[in-house]
Amino acid sequence: VTLASWSEARDEMMLKPDAVYLNAGSFGPLPRPVFERACELRRRSAVDPTDFMLRDLPRLLWRARERLGEFIGASPERLMFSHSVSAAVGLVANSISVPSPGEILLTDREYPTMSRCWERAAQRLGLSIRVIRLPDDPSDHARLLDLFRAEVSERTRLFFFSHVLSATGAVLPARALCRAARSRGIVTVVDGAHAPGFLELDVEALECDFYVGSGHKWLLAPAGVGFLYSRSLDAHPLEPATVSWGYGPPPTAPQADRPDRFGSTPRLRRLECEGTRDLCAWLAVPEAIDFRDRFGAERIGARMKALSAYAVDRLAALGAWVAMTPRSGRPDGGISAFHVPAGIDPDALRDALWNRFRLEVGMSMAGDRPLLRICTHFFNTEQDVDALADALRVLERESHA
Ligand SMILES: Cc1ncc(COP(=O)(O)O)c(C=O)c1O
């Protein structure tokens, strides 16, 4: 098999040719075949709505579930689609039942809305929240486990943490953390919003209770793709926010997990079906995986890391931009993050980069410290990073003029 070249990756993106897009971690751009597939399905559903919904959709939905399951290492019977990570985490947080009194454990580097979601869940369940403070550089995994052991207690009921930190791209040792929690009877919910397409995933091997992820970031699937893997719905039954087809008392094994004629299983459909919705984004997931396959998973992983390391070097050479972690010369994947120098307004910088240089970057926060977040995906190039470094130099010179 001849793998496609990186310039082909860039040519296939729907991005305008003159745009430098370094923000796939917020909103991934679409490869043309993925966009066209979603459009084709939408056209089919417009032309023959009933035929599409009743006869095409079930087959396509199961195919998407199988393909995503294979990609992330989860069996399709345990994998439900959702419309976003927020919706999937919300489904767990809003309906799971754990004994009170007790604590929900989070880290201080969770995506802000996810922390809020668990704060609300804690209120509902009569629990309190405990927060593990992570070091700036979380690459010492033994130290992370020690931090976990120091905070956990017989009061800890549930542990929620990010597999890949949104602000910096650092990868946490999900398997070791889940195992440590599991051995203490603690429910684990892993936020893998950034994981699919960022690292090689084997969700079932993590031994977590729940794993959520998104398709619209590194996987380059359309917006509107989230998923929830659940290992233990018997032990931790959930209640859907919306009552629709499939709703009823939680179904029991073995029928609960048998593929049904809707592209689902009774257990999944009960949670997944939210009335009549446009599911074409979900159905285009196989094409997003096909697109990656043209380049090869290992090659993609190495390319993303190499570009991130290149970004760390290029920005460090400017002087004012200090990488977030001392070891970030070897980033875990396609994200590098830099402290925004004092006196620079992050939002104004971001707008200036786009408005003047057609350069899109991300901004994130580590506590109260703003970070410039650069996402280097496999469609990006060294020239993209050079363009960013040049633009930052121009803006810095102007600020001193
Ligand atoms: C770590 C993390 N969790 C959750 C989310 C929320 O994802 P969504 O917007 O798909 O609900 C994000 C979004 O960037 C994220 O980075």
CA–CA separation, 23 and 229 (whole Å):
26
Give the CA-trace dihedral at 285, 290, 294, 297, to 10 degrees: 60
Q: How confident is the prediction for the chain on average, in pLDDT?
A: 96
Mutation to probe ligand 1, out of 113, 190, 214, 227 (largest number of atoms < 8 A from CB): 214
pLDDT at 327: 65
pLDDT in tens, 39-59: 999 999 999 999 999 999 999
Is the pLDDT reported for residue 67 higher than 80? yes
Name which of 336, 337, 362 is nearest 349 in CA terms.
362
Q: What residue type is assigned to position 196 of the chain?
A: P
For ligand 1, the distance from its centroid to the CA atom of residue 380, given in whole angstroms, is 22
Q: Over range 278-283, report the average pLDDT.
A: 98
For ligand 1, the distance from its centroid to the CA atom of residue 310, given in whole angstroms, is 26
pLDDT at 328: 57
- b/e sequence 72-100, b meaning 16+ C-beta within 10 Å: bebebbbbbbbbbbbbbbbbbbebbebee
Phi, psi dihedral angles at 314 (to 5 degrees) = -65, -45
How many helices (H) does the chain have, and how many strands (E)?
Answer: 15, 13
Q: Which residues line ligand 1 (CB under 6 A)?
A: 84-86, 111, 114, 162, 166, 191, 193-194, 214, 226
| CA distance readout (Å), 283 to 39, 61, 152 | 11, 6, 40
| CA distance readout (Å), 383 to 149, 174, 310, 338, 379 | 44, 34, 11, 19, 11
For ligand 1, the distance from its centroid to the CA atom of residue 243, given in whole angstroms, is 25
Token look-up 């009774």 returns 266
Q: Is the pTM of this model over 0.85?
A: yes
Looking from the CA of 137 toward its CB, the CA atoms found within 13 Å total 11
Token look-up 């794993």 returns 211
CA–CA separation, 21 and 27 (whole Å):
10
DSSP-derived secondary structure letter, 334 = S
Chain-centroid distance of CA 282 in Å reads 15
Say if residues 178 and 190 touch (Cβ distance below 8 Å).
yes
Q: What residue type is assigned to position 193 of the chain?
A: A
For ligand 1, the distance from its centroid to the CA atom of residue 86, given in whole angstroms, is 6
Q: Could you give the percent of the chain with pLDDT greater than 70?
A: 99
CA–CA separation, 344 and 365 (whole Å):
14
Q: Maximum distance among all alpha carbons in the chain? A: 72
pLDDT in tens, 103-115: 999 999 999 999 9
Q: How confident is the model at residue 326 (pLDDT cuts 50, 70, 90)?
A: low
pLDDT in tens, 365-386: 988 899 999 999 999 999 999 9
